[in-house]
Chains A and B, each alone.
Chain A
Amino acid sequence: MQKHIISALVVNRPGVLAHAAGLFSARGFNIDSLAVGETEQPEFSRMTIVIAGDEAILEQVRKQLDKLIDVVKVQDYSNVPHVERDLALIRVHTSVGRRSEILELVDIFRGRIVDVSRNDVMIELSGTEEKIEAMLDLLRPYGVREMVRTGRIALTRSARE
């Protein structure tokens, strides 16, 4: 099933997130990820929702979201040129002598070490979902102790002349 990225501009009021989330559960839509944050205008927030489903389901999600009074605009980014990013913080076990291997990987993936202790390091990595998955695959043999991800966020690219 195809994954879609839906971006919803919403009025920044209490209850909006609950309303959107409630809509997904009430109508049986399964969402992969949901990221919410303020936009350049503090009175609006942007929700980026990743959802898997066929065209009909996606159409309903889009229309039902648009019906919510506090939702200003809904866009499906699937067929629109856009930039998408996922941010992950990953704590990896570093046994003696293997830290440099990990540092090398972090370097290749253009990540950063943001915390170090005797037995582990915390890596910050941003990029597309595929990139983060690829990095994770390579880190697993060392022992991934903890991980958190933001879920995808996305914006459309500027229109080209």
Chain B
Amino acid sequence: MVRTGAKILVESLVEQGVEHVFGLPGGAVIALFDELYEAPFKIVLVRHEQGAGHMADGYARATGKVGVCIATSGPGATNLVTAIATAYMDSIPIVAITGQVKTHLIGNDAFQEADVTGITRPATKHNYLVKDARELGRIVREAFHVASTGRPGPVLIDLPGDVTAQEVEGEIDTAMQLPGYRPSAGGHVRQIQKAAEAINDSERPVLYVGGGVITSNASDELRELARKANTPVTTTLMGLGTFPETESLSLGMLGMHGTVYANYAVTNCDLLIAVGARFDDRVTGKLDGFAPHARIIHVDIDPASIGKNIEVEIPVVGDAKKILGDLVGLVEHRQREEWLGQIEKWKRDFPLSYGLDGDVVKPQAVIEEIYKVTDGKALICTDVGQHQMWAAQYYLYTEPRTMLTSGGLGTMGFGLPASIGAQFGRSDKLVFLITSDGSLQMNIQEMCTAAGNKLPIKIALLNNGYLGMVRQWQELFFNRRYSHTYLGDKNPDFGKLAEAYGATGILVERMDQVRPALERAMEIDDGPVLMDFHTAPEENVFPMVPTGHAIDRMFSGLA
């Protein structure tokens, strides 16, 4: 039996259970796409490779499976880099396959050549340059294994044109050869014991939960632990949905734009239980002022995350699902009336709030309406900026994998392609993209992919005519000098643009139009709907902790 490299690749992807591949052809991958023409999985043709990368990412976030994208050599591959870096920062398992010039041309500055393994090395968990098709089966298996285990992340396979065409005879051993890869698993029994003792001893504990809990599918264990130990839970942006925000133990999100009560709780707790979170600067603010009175437990699968930013008393290295499960059996229920009473008081005194202003469409109100109209059950995707923070604050998440957002890298342009990938992965879900005029235009070409595939994605465009988050900082810290942040007078008519792509466009200019627009959008199920909400141009995201301050030094903006 003779097989080409391209054939081996397709067979390997089938072996991995791949159902969707997002990509765009090009010179170096023509032979590969020829094989993909008959592949037993769906190829989603994108309009820009960055879109393919974010779709694979959104697919992975929504399903927990590995997302796959394919691009050609040179510019095709470099266009993937932002998406790969996005997935890397948020520990998302994707496998990116890039074409490369023929092996004898590598290093010759050939047409559409780029040193892609070199370029992506600091932004991938691992990468490969395949020099012999006989290695390909093994490499694909390793790539999926590395991408999806331990602390997940993107893996890139660079595939020269002659390797795809290379003919290979017979069966080849595809056993993995990864002597240096042993992701930690169980968690040390003694450390788990110590953590449980600390929880039982604590008067004022807080669980600080990040995306790692979603990655390890540990939401059930987390919920059990929080309820049994009677411990309030705050999540990072990446951790939204791990604990139901509708429960009284939920504190919502913490950090720069977190709730006042979450930040007060962390500042005043005597025990901080960090799980699958990495003490990012947007969370901690000034490090000296972060949980200053607390003993700290840190559960993480990545030993390098522990002790990186903050000193930890009880490190527990391993998988959150296993460790939280073990903790549930070891913790005692305690009333903690005083602490929970204090938190209730903070919640009453400092709720999230915004002001209404007649007919003017308030972005926060739009998100609250989306919450109501979707019954809190939508899969929300966002872009990056003010709308992202409002989406984090004003939609109440109750399930994991229902809030997809670029947390670490903060990639504008992530939202639309990620929502497409998510909708392909979860065709049973109502997918809502919350985006803005700045972000949407960074990958707006994928409207074509969404409409062409008749994906019923609801797009809520919070159009304030500004690069809003930068404008907010300019207003607050740069004397209102709005240097190059105004987009309003040059923005296209987004509704018309949506229509031009074959989607539906709805314009919303007054508060009383918000609900009807959402209701109309909910009825359209044969393609995307874009609702162009013209929102208050200079609305700010509050509360806010200015950079470099302790997180209890928040200002609300409300006089």
Interface residues of A (CB under 8 A from B): 10-11, 14-15, 18-19, 22-23, 26, 56, 59-60, 63-64, 66-73
Contact = CB atoms under 8 A, between A and B. Distances in A.
A20 B452 CA distance: 44
- Classify the interface of chain B: helix, strand, loop or mixed: mixed
Given A22-B121, A71-B180, 5 more contacts: A11-B180, A14-B129, A15-B127, A72-B179, A73-B180
26 contacts: A14-B129, A15-B121, A15-B127, A15-B129, A18-B121, A19-B121, A22-B122, A23-B122, A26-B122, A56-B307, A59-B307, A60-B304, A63-B304, A66-B303, A66-B304, A67-B304, A69-B125, A69-B126, A69-B146, A69-B178, A69-B180, A70-B126, A70-B180, A71-B180, A72-B179, A73-B180
Nearest to A14: B129
A67 B302 contact: yes
Given A22-B122, A69-B125, A69-B146, A11 B303 contact: no
A108 to B, nearest CB: 44
Interface of B: 117-118, 121-122, 125-127, 129, 146, 178-181, 302-304, 307-308
Contacts of B118: 18
Nearest to A63: B304
A63 B180 contact: no
Nearest to A8: B180
A68 B129 contact: no
Contacts of B178: 69
Nearest to B177: A11
A55 B178 CA distance: 29
A116 B485 CA distance: 70
Most chain A CB within a 10 A radius of its CB, from B122, B127, B302: B122
Interchain residue pairs A-B with the least CB separation, the first 9: A63-B304, A72-B180, A69-B126, A71-B180, A69-B181, A26-B122, A72-B179, A63-B303, A70-B180
B296 to A, nearest CB: 15
A60 B306 CA distance: 9
A19 B125 CA distance: 11
A73 B181 CA distance: 10
A68 B307 contact: no
A67 B302 CA distance: 8
B38 to A, nearest CB: 33
Nearest to A19: B121
Contacts of A10: 180
Contacts of A22: 121-122
Nearest to B125: A69
Most chain A CB within a 10 A radius of its CB, from B117, B122, B179, B302: B179
Contact of B117 (A15, A60, A68): A15
Contacts of A71: 180
Contacts of B127: 15
A59 to B, nearest CB: 6
A11 B307 contact: no
Nearest to A73: B180
Contacts of A15: 117, 121, 127, 129
A64 B304 contact: yes
Contacts of B304: 60, 63-64, 66-67
A11 B122 contact: no
Contacts of A69: 125-126, 146, 178, 180-181
Contacts of A14: 129
Contacts of A56: 307
Nearest to A70: B180
Contacts of A64: 304
A6 to B, nearest CB: 14
Contact of A68 (B180, B302, B303, B308): B180
Nearest to A13: B128
Nearest to A67: B304
A127 B304 CA distance: 34
A19 B121 CA distance: 7
Contacts of A60: 304, 308
A38 to B, nearest CB: 16
A22 B126 CA distance: 13
Nearest to B126: A69
A72 B180 CA distance: 4
Contacts of B121: 15, 18-19, 22
A73 B117 CA distance: 23
Most chain B CB within a 10 A radius of its CB, from A15, A18, A26, A71: A15
A15 B302 CA distance: 23
Contacts of A11: 179-180
A9 to B, nearest CB: 8
A77 B146 CA distance: 29
B409 to A, nearest CB: 15
Nearest to A69: B126
A13 to B, nearest CB: 9
Contacts of B122: 22-23, 26
A133 to B, nearest CB: 34
Nearest to B308: A60
A117 B181 CA distance: 52
Contacts of B117: 15
A73 B180 CA distance: 7
A75 B117 CA distance: 27
Contacts of A67: 302, 304
A28 B179 CA distance: 28
A3 to B, nearest CB: 21
Nearest to B127: A15
Most chain B CB within a 10 A radius of its CB, from A19, A69, A71, A73: A69
Contacts of B179: 11, 72
Contacts of B302: 67
Most chain A CB within a 10 A radius of its CB, from B146, B304, B307: B304
A146 B146 CA distance: 46
A59 B126 CA distance: 22
B508 to A, nearest CB: 45
Contacts of B129: 14-15
A18 B117 CA distance: 10
Most chain A CB within a 10 A radius of its CB, from B180, B181, B302: B180
Nearest to A65: B304
A142 to B, nearest CB: 44
